[in-house]
Structure 1
Amino acid sequence: MTVNQGFLLTRDWRDARSGLALEFWLATSQGSKALRVTNQESVCFFLQSDHALLAKVLAKHSGWRAQALNLTNHQGLAVSALYSRSHVLQRNAVSLLSDAGITTWESDIRPADRYLMERFITADIAYQPGPVSRGFIAPKQIKPAAIAEVNLKVLSIDIETSMDGLQLFSIALQGPAVRRVYMVGASEDQHLAGDELDLIACASARECLDKFLRAVRLLDPDILIGWNVIGFDLWMLQRFCDQQSIKFNIGRDGSTPRWREEPDSERRYIHIAGRVALDGIDLVKAAAFSFDSYSLQQVSESVLGTGKLIAGSDGGAEITRLFNEDKTALARYNLQDCQLVSDIFAKLNLLDFAIARARLTGLPLDRIGGSVAAFEYAYLPLLHRAGFVAPNLGEIESDVISPGGYVMDSTPGLYSDVLVLDFKSLYPSIIRSFLIDPCGYWRAKNSGLKKAQVVQGFNEAFFAREGHLLPGIIEKLWSARDSAKAEKNQPLSYAIKIIMNSFYGVLGSEGCRFFDPRVCSSITLRGHEIIQRSKQWIEAQGFAVIYGDTDSLFVWAGDAATTMNPEELGQSLAAGLNLWWAQTIRTEHQLNSALEVEFETHFKRFFMPTIRGSEAGSKKRYAGIITNQRGADELIFKGLESVRTDWTRLARDFQTELYWRLFHGEAVDQWIVELVAALRAGAKDEQLVYRKRLRRKLEDYAKSRPPHVQAAHKLAQVGLTPKRGEWVEYFITTNGPEPKATRTSAIDYQHYLDRQLQPVADAILPFFGYSFSSLIEHQIRLL
């Protein structure tokens, strides 16, 4: 029996005469393959007690059938399945049943997703080939496949247009053995040897589009990448094709893409048959890389040490000038953007991360976010086999309020030798240790289990010791992450960490059908208990805990650091705490502990500030000096101005330098005086720009107009209205906030002194016997 294997690129379904048809495009070692599975049914569930009424409601409709099942809902009531020959029929049936007061469950699960998840298929598919019709293979069997090496063909694309977006200038393609730019109005095709660039002349925008579409068909990429490639490049290409009455047929089957827009966020999604579009911005964020700005220029400079060939706020005008005067230079610029995206993907392992995430979650390769969907994909097939169907969104009601993570009151001050002990993946380890699980809760509640058969949670929740699901899912992910770490597979390790840690957030989200405050509070309140009792144990060993936050404890080594290596002390405390928790959980709950405390960081110098205007210690804000892997001192900030993008570069640089000097015993008084003098003299103007993003449309800021909105309105007055999601750069002037691009008033230096420098300085200077005000007043007296 021949069995082939492939990696899932796209999935789709359509209603056909013979029933529901599912379509799967795979990347294989023999090229792309398309599978079509026919004669399928959509399915949802309803109460068995509603059989007669359901038959009456649907009596005039054909193409459906009902069947009793050995399943119950979360309340323990028996359910049946409603099968429909088309997905449209199921939608209509669900609507009619709802009007008749009949509840259905799981009617929102997409047919292709249900087909895959019920077979425990995520991304790697094994199939037995069958007959081929119109390019689609009708497989005799589909099942999960072992992970094999995937060599996906990737093509980076980028377009250039006029500033108003009405005129197409050029389209660049970069990938294996291709570095090409199609340029409208170029005089002749030429090879630019210095760039290894093929500049292809196009007499019109129509010819440019035709040649691009032909190239996509010939190059046949699996993946299209770019920077805002969906929201701009592909969307604009779709518009240009529409204008020219050209089919934007970039699908592998010659189809045009399907678009979906979210009006509230102005976000666009694209489905291309057989190809996946991956946006660099989305993937960088999904992989938890953080930058001040996610512009291609900022990210490429940070990651690659190089950037775009044209940078700055007047880039659009320069692009237009090059199109009119130097098309060769524009071609180099256009292709450089493609190359930067490819290099960022390679340097940050973004494609490997996306592949690892798809294999873990079963979600489409281009799905960004989707923590709830990932949870359901893993959980639903196991839930069905455990005898339950999933509740509907918002169906589970409770007046319990689940708290967040425990944040301890801090002891403010300046310290030497602070050790950070961290509970590795605390919430997943609590789920594993205390068997916390929605299905386990329903089983315990509906089955009348005895006290010895359950584990007590919080807020009157309890969980079955047998028949739970989520602890096993977490355990498998945990083991897979340990293996990925051992194999130094960083993308897979990080993808597992993100998914595993998201499961608590899913259970605590009202956007999840399994949301139940009794379940999620049994996680968070157990976390509170663990941090508080860990603090008590550490203090019993003679050490002070000066701060704690959700899963971390900050321990002041005190005099012990003079007689014992701080790293060894941290390791000893972690080992002791692990042993104590293992014994405690075994004694008190007759369970095995999955808690794992790690010694994470040794701060040689550590500062915990007070809340501004108070003597109480702050929370989630601190700074310290560590020794990094290179053996050099490194300054770490948490929650302070140096890591806040809404503070000016002046404040952030000032804080970094101030703390560095103070931690290393260097004088700061003269340096501060000179800095203030330079500020007032105008020598720091470029560092005084505020940057803040518009979170809403400009016209939606009706009740409140913060400074960046005021600056945005002034931009609108000169025809430069910023859109939602765009950054606004502005100064505070003697006439209030003014945009950087159009400022006419004098900068209000006193504002920056009072609102940027002084708060930074006042947080730490008093601990060193300084006063910012007295330093500045002394300077003024000398003037």
Structure 2
Amino acid sequence: MISGSHSAFLLTSRWHDEGETTLLTYWWQTPRGPVRTVITQPVVCFIPAVAAERAQNAATTLGWPVTVKPVPMRSFDGEAAAACYLPSGLLYRWRDLMREQGVVCREVDIRPTDRYLMERFVYGAAELHGHWRQGAHFADIEGVRIMPTRYQPSLRCVSIDIETSFPRNGEPDRLFSIACYQPHESLVLMIGDPDQSNDEVTLVADEPALLRAFLTYIQACDPDVLIGWNVIQFDMDFLRRKYHQHGIAFTLGRDGSELQWRVPANQPDRIYLHIPGRVVMDGIECMRNATYQFESFALNDVAEHFLGDGKLLHGDDRGGDIERLFIDDKPALARYNLKDCELVWRIFEKADLFNFMIERAHMTGLPLDRMGGSVAAFENMYLPRLHRAGYVAPNLGEGYSAEKSPGGYVMDSRPGLFEHVLVLDFKSLYPSIIRTFKVDPMGLVEGLAAYEAGGATKETVVPGYFAAQFHQQRHILPDLIRHLGERRDLAKQQGNRALSQAIKVIMASCYGVLGSDGCRFYDTRLSASITKRSHDIIQQSSRWIAQQGYDVIYGDTDSVFVWLKKSVTNDEADVIGKQLVRDLNVWFKQELQAQWGVESHLEMEYETHYRRFFMPSIRGEETGSKKRYAGLIETAGKAEMVFKGLEAVRTDWTPLARQFQRELYRRVFFAEPYEDWLREQVNALLTGQRDDLLIYRKRLRRPLPLYQKNRPPHARAASLLDAWREQQGLKPRFSDRGGWISYKITINGPEPVEIQRSLVDYGHYLEKQLAPIADAIFQFTGDDFLRIAGQQLDLF
């Protein structure tokens, strides 16, 4: 045993009781290898101090190991607080006992492992001090002291993927192979004749042998992280069932322990797992946490987008193809299996997901495998600061909610076809409002107290909405936002895109959690003081811009669209845009200081100059639409079309419509002739030359049987396809979880492309796809789709 210290990065944490003692177990990655620390620490919750003696007497009477002590803290209602220290196994029984006696327990639901680290401001990484005892596979640290630090780990990762049968007619599912990939090493384990093993695939006799071989590999490779695509909800779930079926312990833990499994009662389709010392990260969930959005998160679709590469099998009957390869060409199946692993690895690297999740952990303390978690991230950052300010956090539902907070401001647009429109955008508007107007849960408590005590001056409070008052000096969140903003600016300067993106997501979530009733700090006085203030700011900006001689034709949450009403060059537009934002920022600084006594952190930026700009009206009305427009911008002498919310970027419209809109609007914006071109497009459609572009692709978000009344076209197409699959002895595709369906509209209604038998209904595509797109812009050019296409329509 040696004494020393090392930087470490948190992998997993867990707590359990031994007798009357709660033990917190943390697993860390360090330069010396994996490390386990076990800390003895009771859990804590808080009750009103006036009930402390009664609570202690109740614990003593029941023989419960609970210690109640006064602490220099109070709840948001002003009551002094006492802390209750007890084993974790008693926590919820203690809460219920106190409830029976009319005593409110607070902060019961905070995980003991999270509380221990957050109260020490340990986020993601730590400096571990203590006596190191090295074992065969990992080290234990005795008498550990944990201090905050920043440490960039070098994680040992393995990408895994399994191949299975696609059961038909009640057949049992079978496990064919397991692939494990690292750039310098790969392995495919598959059932077969062991004597036929080669460099591509290691064959084992049966499923039990395959399962044991996988455990042997993991124990030898000893990864910190396992990654995959839908790896928890499918791969790990399938493997868990197979290990159970064959009576083999699924010992993935670094200490030889079994994988732990949990399916929440309120989320029966959601699986959570825990492996001591190892993290499992799902590529789909990591992409979503990093705010990537795709039409489809299928591995092949994401890989083609990011890598220009894809899976080795693409057919509709992939299950049958996999089974045929398993029987006839095991090396080919091994290549297919391993390719999926490789694609996942490359997506993680290309999207910088490893670094993003590490930086997120550094900022919030969320573990690598904690997906979502915006409320937990906020609380990890906020609670330690709140406690040091002398407050106990409220419980869910204790905040004000009598009035509903509105969403972001969206101005009624002025429809039309414009020249020279500027977009001015507030940088991080909601976080800037929080900083400027001191919006904060604790600041609200302190501000209301000062206001009620008669100390309501510009020097002490800032008025909010729904009668909110925020204290000018005593607050937490504005300073936290400032700190995050400074960290993000530094990350940008250093080229650390992963950290910059992680902070951006965290800053954006600070408003979201305050407006979520799943957060203990939910209070509509907080959320309204952000959103309603943003409404005022956009409206004030619009009025000020109008005074400068320009028209604001649209506003959306944090942006205004300014029509210059005159012809200008690109350079002249840039000069006007930059001057507008400079003057407006100065105006806000002066106005807010004079009116509220606050320093403005609002920062309007000049974003874009549209040489041509189109804002459509709502179909069939004169009112302008919202969040839908198209424009032409020019950057470095290169023109580019931009579409927002229109058919060209909507995946529920056909490729025909998307291509048609892009080219038609381009011709209108560049003042190029389009009548002959439009007639050619209509003619090509009616003569079958565009049949490959007529495919609708939509997702059934529920299992098919749940679509009972007024079935939409994509559900009807899915029903036809599932009926056909059952006739072929194949498993229905949409009965369990829904999914994506591709179909065309025919003279007999929607039919899936796989089994389309009827003729295409070209009239549908003319009326529902081309005409609405053309007439939306022709309303402002004076043209008419039917007039231009009339001769071709006679063919139909």
TM-score normalised to the size of structure 2?
Answer: 0.94
The counterpart of 1:751, out of the listed 755, 761, 764, is 764
Q: Measure the CA separation in 2 of the matches of 1:634 and 1:610.
A: 23
1:446 Cα deviation from its structure 2 partner: 3.1
Residue of structure 2 in register with 1:218 after alignment: 220
Cα offset, 1:624, TM superposition: 0.9
State the alpha-carbon separation in 1 of the partners of residues 44 and 577 from structure 2. 55
Question: What is the alpha-carbon distance in structure 2 between the residues aligned to residue 736 and residue 174 of structure 1?
Answer: 46
Q: Tell me what 2:425 maps to.
A: 422
| Amino acid in the other structure paired with 2:768 | R
CA contact (8 A) 2:611 2:631 kept: yes
What is the CA–CA distance in structure 2 between the aligned matches of 1:145 and 1:67, rounded to whole Å?
Answer: 28
1:705 is the counterpart of 2:707: no
Moved more, 683-692 or 650-659: 683-692
What secondary structure, in the 3-state scheme, does the structure 2 residue paired with 1:561 have?
A: coil
Map 1:285-684 → 2, pairs under 5 A: 285-447=288-450, 448=453, 450-452=455-457, 453-559=460-566, 561-562=568-569, 565-628=572-635, 631-684=637-690
The 1-side partners of 2:301 and 2:621 are apart by 38
* Structure 1 residues 296-337: Cα deviation after superposition (integer angstroms, max 9, x where no partner): 111111111111111132222111111111111111111111
**Closer, same or farther: CA 189–494 of 1 in aligned 2, 3 Å:** farther
CA distance in 2 between counterparts of 1:559 and 1:34 reads 69
The 1:244–1:586 alpha-carbon spacing in structure 2 relative to 1, beyond 3 Å, is same
CA distance in 2: counterparts of 1:586 and 1:186, whole angstroms: 80
Contact between 1:433 and 1:591, CA under 8 Å: does it hold in 2?
A: yes
Deviation at residue 118 of structure 1 after TM alignment: 0.8
Kept after mapping to 1: 8 A contact 2:262/2:271: yes
Contact 1:37 / 1:138 at 8 angstroms: preserved in 2?
no
CA contact (8 A) 1:713 1:721 kept: no
* The 10-residue stretch of structure 1 (763-772 or 735-744) with the greater mean CA deviation from structure 2: 735-744
Q: How far did 1:175 drift?
A: 0.7
Measured after TM superposition, the shift of residue 51 of structure 1 is 2.8
Give the aligned length.
775
Any gaps of 5 or more consecutive residues in structure 2? Answer: 727-731
Change over 3 Å in CA distance of 1:163–1:346 after alignment to 2: same
Secondary structure, in 3 states, of the residue corresponding to 1:129? Answer: strand
Deviation, 1:562, is 4.5
Residue 53 of structure 1 deviates from its aligned partner by 4.0
- C-alpha contact (below 8 Å) 1:186/1:200 kept by paired residues: no
Q: Name which of 230, 233, 241 aligns with 2:232.
A: 230
Would the aligned equivalents of 2:424 and 2:608 in 1 still touch at CA under 8 Å?
yes
Provide the residue aligned with 2:55 in structure 1: 54
Q: CA RMSD in A?
A: 2.0
Q: Distance in 1 between matches of 2:480 and 2:710?
A: 46
> Counterpart amino acid of 2:679?
V
80, 83, 97: which one aligns with 1:81:
83
Residue of 22, 26, 36 corresponding to 1:24: 26
Q: Residues 133 and 305 from structure 1, CA distance in 2 versus in 1: closer, same or farther, beyond 3 angstroms?
A: closer
SS class of match (2:688): coil
What is the deviation of 1:57? 4.3
**Structure 2 residue 746 is the aligned partner of structure 1 residue 733:** yes
Deviation at 1:703, TM superposition (A): 4.5
CA contact (8 A) 2:35 2:141 kept: no
Deviation at 1:704, TM superposition (A): 4.7
Q: In the aligned structure 2, how far is the partner of 1:682 from the partner of 1:700?
A: 35
The aligned residue for residue 729 of structure 2 is: none
- Do the aligned partners of residues 638 and 47 (structure 1) sit closer, same or farther apart at CA in structure 2, a change above 3 Å counting? same
| Amino acid corresponding to residue 225 of structure 2 in structure 1 | I
**Which whole-Å deviations, capped at 9, do the CAs of 1:420-468 have from their partners, x for residues lacking one?**
1110000000000111101001112235361121111122111011210
Task: Provide the secondary structure at the position in 2 that maps to 1:565.
Answer: helix
- How far, CA to CA, are the matches of 2:671 and 2:319 in structure 1? 48
- The separation in 2 between residues aligned to 1:751 and 1:176, in whole angstroms, is 51
1:78-157 maps to which residues of 2 (within 5 A)? 78-84=80-86, 86-130=87-131, 132=133, 137-157=140-160
Cα deviation, residue 255, structure 1: 1.4
Residues 71 and 78 in structure 1, CA contact (< 8 A), matched pair in contact too: yes
The 10-residue stretch of structure 1 (90-99 or 272-281) with the greater mean CA deviation from structure 2:
90-99
Tell me, in whole angstroms, the C-alpha distance in 2 between the residues paired with 1:441 and 1:251: 46
- How far, CA to CA, are the matches of 1:60 and 1:183 in structure 2? 58
Counterpart of 2:212, as a letter, is: D
Q: Equivalent residue for 2:693?
A: 687
Question: 1:129 touches 1:137 (CA, 8 Å); kept in 2?
Answer: no
Tell whether the 8 Å contact from 1:440 to 1:463 is kept in structure 2 after alignment.
Answer: yes
Report the Cα offset of residue 176 of structure 1: 4.1
Contact 1:4 1:129 in 2 (8 A): no
The unaligned stretches of length 5 or more in structure 1 are 193-197
SS at match of 1:104: coil
> What is aligned with 1:777?
790
Output the amino acid matched with 2:750: P
- Rounded Cα–Cα distance in structure 1 between residues aligned with 2:665 and 2:63: 74
Residue 267 (1) aligns with residue 270 (2): yes
Q: CA deviation at 1:582?
A: 1.3
Contact 1:122 1:144 (C-alpha < 8 Å) held by counterparts: no
The 3 A distance-change label for structure 1 pair 557 and 183 is same
CA 364–606 in structure 1, closer or farther in 2 if over 3 Å, else same: same
Task: Tell me which amino acid in the other structure corresponds to 1:258.
Answer: Q
Go from structure 1 to structure 2 and tell me whether the alpha carbon gap of 1:739 and 1:363 turns closer, same or farther (over 3 Å shift): same
Q: CA deviation at 1:27?
A: 0.8
Instruction: Pick the aligned partner of 1:276 from 273, 276, 279.
Output: 279
**Structure 2: how far apart are the matches of 1:693 and 1:42?**
46
Cα distance in 2 between the residues matched to 1:213 and 1:403: 53
- After TM superposition, give the deviation of residue 284 of structure 1 in Å: 1.4
Question: Which AA in structure 2 matches 1:207?
Answer: A
Match of 1:195 in 2: none
The question of 1:178 aligning with 2:197 is answered: no
CA drift of 1:71 comes to 1.3
CA contact (8 A) 1:131 1:138 kept: yes
Kindly state the Cα deviation for residue 782 of structure 1 after the two structures are TM-superposed: 6.3
Number of the residue aligned with 2:17: 15
Residues 241-271 of structure 1 deviation map (CA, whole Å, 9 limit, x = unaligned): 1122111111111112222235646122221
CA offsets 1:330-371 (integer angstroms, 9 cap, x no match): 111111111111111111101111111111111111111111
Inter-partner Cα distance in structure 1 for 2:748 and 2:101: 63
Q: Following TM superposition, by how much is the alpha carbon of 1:187 offset from its aligned partner in structure 2, in angstroms? A: 5.1
**Distance change >3 Å, CA 636–CA 90, structure 1 → 2:** same
User: How far, CA to CA, are the matches of 2:708 and 2:795 in structure 1?
Assistant: 47
The separation in 2 between residues aligned to 1:428 and 1:219, in whole angstroms, is: 44
> Cα distance 1:83–1:703, how it changes in 2: closer, same or farther (>3 A)?
farther
Alpha-carbon spacing, 1:258–1:686, altered in 2? closer, same or farther (3 Å)? farther
Distance 1:449 1:464 in 2: 13
Contact 1:186-1:327 at 8 Å conserved across structures: no
Q: Write the letter of the residue equivalent to 2:192.
A: G
How far off its partner does 1:283 sit? 1.3
Which residue identity lines up with residue 350 of structure 1 in the other structure? L
Q: Say yes or no: does 1:742 pair with 2:744.
A: no
Distance 2:469 2:449 in 1: 11
Note if contact 2:652-2:696 (Cα within 8 Å) is conserved in structure 1.
yes
Equivalent AA in structure 2 for residue 127 of structure 1: L
What is the identity, as a one-letter code, of the residue corresponding to 1:469? I
Q: C-alpha separation between the residues in 2 aligned to 1:56 and 1:759?
A: 75
What letter corresponds to residue 503 of structure 1 in structure 2? C
TM-aligned CA distance change 1:350 to 1:186, over 3 Å: farther
TM-score by length of 1: 0.95
SS in 2 for 1:451: coil
Q: Verify the 8 A CA contact 2:56 2:67 in the aligned structure 1.
A: no
Q: Cα offset for 1:725?
A: 5.0
